Chain A
């Protein structure tokens, strides 16, 4: 493999074109509309493979013999041909052509299609769209730019994670994330956070399951097809960019800033001395060492916060709120991104190479990461054979806290100048031994003492061979490999409180309160420290083999693709750890008391698919497409199971009709282009937890105890007849171009029905099991999408466009299981997410407090005790996913200056925020 890559590389770099008796032709291509230069125009010498593209100023250079014909073509403009006689320069002004404003797009399985052929909705995002604004992450760069696409930030640390969901949730409990395909290789969402956005040529977003029929099960939630740059023919181009982004906490929840530290110290209801005035009770509640904030109202007096430290220092501060104290506890995050890329090539080869470094300092103090990525791709044509490869390697080093810094900050009162207590090593009042709060330690100490250190190495690459056997037959084989590894160490430092802190630290008069024992009682627990070392590897191999046949029969051009797909994913995760440290700061599992903890999880899955895709194009205005796929999956395989359980077919049909071409009479100044599209698909999905077919007997909790073995009967009972789920989807849409192509409108409506989803149903524990893994239910997911692009101004150096996107998505549980109307999918005893028949999913249910029936928002309390009344059962609060997503974008350019903005708005009905539950 390596040797082959090297040979390829050498060929690309050193192959020098030797073409005799050619003359150099130079020229410039402009737009006839406004005379502006057109970059990226393709210029080909007819009948040869020689060609070039224009530079950013519209100029080009090519060598051609006398008598040769240059074909000049550019998307959105009418092509022209020029015969070379004796001239040495060719200058052309191309005329715009509305009907040609149809891009070639990369669809499923790398099949390139003219957009007008597509019978389904598809969005395309180009390199300029993802690099504008210099968002260091692809996923965030996509946010707000595509209808029906929602980017969910799973976390926003120095190692951010995202989830991309297209057209809402379809699966009740399984995976709803879109498949990510990188240069034809099925990968995972990890790529979205690690790929250099500058490497991207384009991203095609196939929104429905229909578009991804050819990817099989994994494409059932739609797909993001990322195509990286392959390099352009021509001179070596070097591009360097640097971006520096600053990040700040945008908002914190509103928290009261009227009352200080305190808890339930006032005389209890029902005992003598109980005070009916709540302000009097709050004054009794004030304690200088509390995390809770039920103390008396801030009055500006000087009070101690906490106790006297061993050196006698005391934190005596004004008892009044410090402005923005919590916000100031965070840092301003800085991320610096440097990247350089090279591309070039000649008539038969091209290459692209890039290197990127990104260093991030997070908003949580001392959190940082550093990532370096490289990408290399090259293509070479040998007559009928084209060979190309593409490889990316990303290495990242992350150092994050394992502590919930945000929660730690929220548990400090408003009068504490927290930011002054950063130096816990030297400031005795910031050190845990002297920190005021008995229950929530100094967040700066906790953040430093709990660390996650890990290193990622992600390698992905593929090798592509295409043989154009004849003009109607070509064969392609592509092998892709992805290897991700992470090795890490999680540590918690050992901390032993001083004798002073445990037994002698005191609250001085006049802040000492009667009834606090001797004033030095303190709930302190030494931290024994811990260390966990782990490593995880993921290996994916994906091979795609395709035969492409095309033949024109009269007015109908036919294209047939036959393919075979092979996918294997293997993972291995190993962890060892110790829950104590003997010598502080030595983080090795052998530096421990007690037993060594550890575990291993291995997985492997395989999938084998065969597919066929047929397209018939009648006069380029009526296009019919039919596809079929047959999959076999290891996830449902057992030697004893019938083939129908683990193999399954898919099929689909799509039609695209361009009315303005079929009936040219309807074409007008107003209506330039109108396309109607529709499709219907039946897909299947092997969405089952890996190894879900077996009832297992895992180790009992904490077993083995020394030499004593204990096993337990697993809690999930699998149905012996588990089968892949079925998904039926249909979609209809239209595309309009109006007013000399100034306005583009794309609308679609879709619906998806999933039957027999494999889900874990909660069964009564009295059956002896907690859950049953079974095919149940039917869900429906439907929605509408609309996008409008308006070219407000174009002329001279100034251009201005604007776009508006709106999508609506809703879902419903049509059926669950005989006799079951509802089940729980996650949560706690006081709040959980549920799936309820005949309603949206997931639905949030909480017990919460009882509210007054007058909708005033006031909580009902017990008339005698004053305790808020809780509901005795959990009540539905609404869906947790946005139904409406609206996006707005605009771009203004004047010469070399541009201004772009994007805005996205989502409406979420319900969410749960928990600070503390009693």
Chain B
């Protein structure tokens, strides 16, 4: 070996033949990571990353978690030192950076869109565009103005300018129209439906999900002055399109055919607050706690069927009988933790997040990104606000179906939902409720519990409902209205971030948060 090298060296020293040199140096191809990829592989990872970005996992917090807290559904268990950034609102531009992971995830979808045609995988364009819309909608709801038209252009635009949040919302509706066209024109072919770990290549479900997202985006703007006719027109277009909405099932990622009983490959919620792959409790198992407000509200309304699915009784899950509380599941054994309480409510004395989310051994449930219940409440609000839209059912029918879908997704017996019809319980019985929009908002808030924290926080900001108590940690009435732009973006795109003006996270409201 040495002598061979020596001879080569001697030859080069004397001859210096360029041909030799080139082959000698041509070893610079990365042997560890692939230099290229097909879009379908990137698509699968992108969907899974979306799920973990929203849910979090054992390595970090997801965006939904903050929503559960700031909408007053959950608080922190007292077995841990209080996290002041979340419960005293002492946060900076170094906290809650969901931005970076979201844009990183968006780049994967953008790669699929850019390369689908060339690789004869056109069918991945529509789903990727739908997912992009959902992520951008969530980014607007967290940060307001964001880079949209200039975003995801790699080195071509190194300092993307920010678009007005309202314009982004409008562009998202248009983008969904395009996505639906792509979806309808390009059914999944070959064996590629397995790369779609959300809907298994079911185009109809993708279109229904796209329509559901449209409803979310439109209704969010319903309190903005001058938007009424636009919203109505767009809703009527959805009705005309005819595919309908996600109904009887939820938009979800992963599931038994995807998640594995292995480290890092569990359902992300299970991974974060449940158990590890061998069934050992996670250190954060007692961290999220349903609030006293939530549990007392459910108890007061006699909504015990959902209560028992949303929370476990005091003492938590029975390790030997997964899915069942250690203590008897009677209302008296359910106790919430006051929002922001840092002491006096030890995990042993309060309820934990229930079997609708965490059951020991159920590591492979699909991770829900949008529930059918939410869609029904969106439709109920649309019909309640705009009685002349062409949606076929009444607001009451949508409202009642929303409760049924909420029972279904929580795993409660749906027959129980019927009990509230004509019960005269405020905000449960549509007819007897004085403020129909409030009833819709409050039922929606309950239905979003444990599944859609971000949505719950956004709707709380829009509707100011339900009237949840302030965190014990906070002496005044200020509530966060948005997040700071993260220091990573501020440091690398400073001119454009500065152009957004001074951000006051307690006063700078998003455009749809009018009161």
Contact = CB atoms under 8 A, between A and B. Distances in A.
Interface of A: 1, 263-271, 292, 463, 477, 479, 481, 515-518, 521, 523, 525-526, 528, 541, 543, 545, 564, 566, 568, 579-580, 593-595, 597, 600-606, 608, 610, 632-639, 646, 691, 693-703, 705-706, 708-715, 717, 719, 761-770, 772, 819-824, 829-830, 847, 862, 864-865, 867, 869-874, 918
Closest 3 pairs (CB-CB, A-B): A517-B348, A700-B45, A710-B45
A864 B475 CA distance: 7
Nearest to B107: A768
B330 interface: no
Nearest to A604: B27
B21 interface: yes
B26 A637 contact: yes
B30 A765 contact: no
B92 A870 contact: yes
Interface string B260-292: 111111000000000011101111001000000
A874 B95 CA distance: 11
A764 B158 contact: yes
21 contacts: A269-B475, A517-B346, A543-B9, A566-B5, A566-B12, A595-B262, A595-B263, A595-B265, A638-B28, A646-B25, A700-B45, A706-B260, A709-B41, A712-B108, A766-B147, A768-B106, A822-B491, A824-B488, A829-B95, A847-B92, A865-B473
- State which size class the interface on B falls in: 35 or more
Contacts of A819: 158-159, 495
Contacts of B29: 691, 694
B99 A865 contact: no
Contact of A543 (B6, B45, B264): B6
A705 B260 contact: yes
B37 interface: yes
A705 B152 contact: no
Contact of A639 (B22, B150, B494): B22
B25 A521 contact: no
B77 to A, nearest CB: 10
A553 to B, nearest CB: 27
Nearest to B342: A268
B190 interface: no
A830 B25 contact: no
B276 A766 contact: no
Contacts of A268: 340-344, 472-473
B82 A769 contact: no
A604 B146 CA distance: 42
A598 to B, nearest CB: 13
Contact of B35 (A696, A765, A768, A824): A696
Nearest to B38: A711
B492 A271 contact: no
B282 to A, nearest CB: 7
Contacts of A703: 44-45, 48
A864 B95 CA distance: 23
Contact of B90 (A263, A528, A579, A867): A867
Contacts of B496: 764
Contact of B25 (A479, A545, A632): A632
A541 B9 CA distance: 11
B37 A711 contact: yes
B422 interface: no
Given A479-B2, A523-B79, A873-B487, A696 B26 contact: no
- The A contact surface, by secondary structure, is loop
Main secondary structure of the interface of B (DSSP, over half): loop
A885 to B, nearest CB: 32
Given A580-B277, A763-B492, A829 B12 contact: no
A711 B160 CA distance: 26
Nearest to A607: B25
Nearest to B271: A702
A602 B33 CA distance: 10
A525 B281 contact: yes
Nearest to A718: B155
Contacts of A762: 488, 491-492
Contacts of B92: 847, 870-873
Interface in B285-308: 286
B493 interface: yes
Interface in B152-196: 152-155, 157-160, 194
B41 A769 contact: no
Nearest to A601: B32
A702 B34 CA distance: 16
A701 B52 contact: yes
Contacts of B6: 477, 479, 543
A571 to B, nearest CB: 11
Nearest to B489: A764
A267 B104 contact: no
Contact of B348 (A518, A639, A821): A518
Interface in B89-135: 90, 92-95, 97, 99-100, 103-104, 106-108, 110-111
Nearest to B276: A528
B394 interface: no
B83 interface: yes
Interface in B48-93: 48-49, 52, 79, 81-84, 88, 90, 92-93
A639 B270 CA distance: 49
Interface in B1-49: 1-3, 5-6, 8-10, 12-13, 16, 21-22, 24-37, 41-42, 44-46, 48-49
Nearest to A518: B348
Nearest to A712: B45
Contacts of B30: 691, 694, 696
A265 B343 contact: yes
A566 B94 CA distance: 47
A463 B261 CA distance: 55
Nearest to A774: B155
A564 B6 CA distance: 11
A183 B260 CA distance: 54
A594 B262 contact: yes
B163 to A, nearest CB: 11
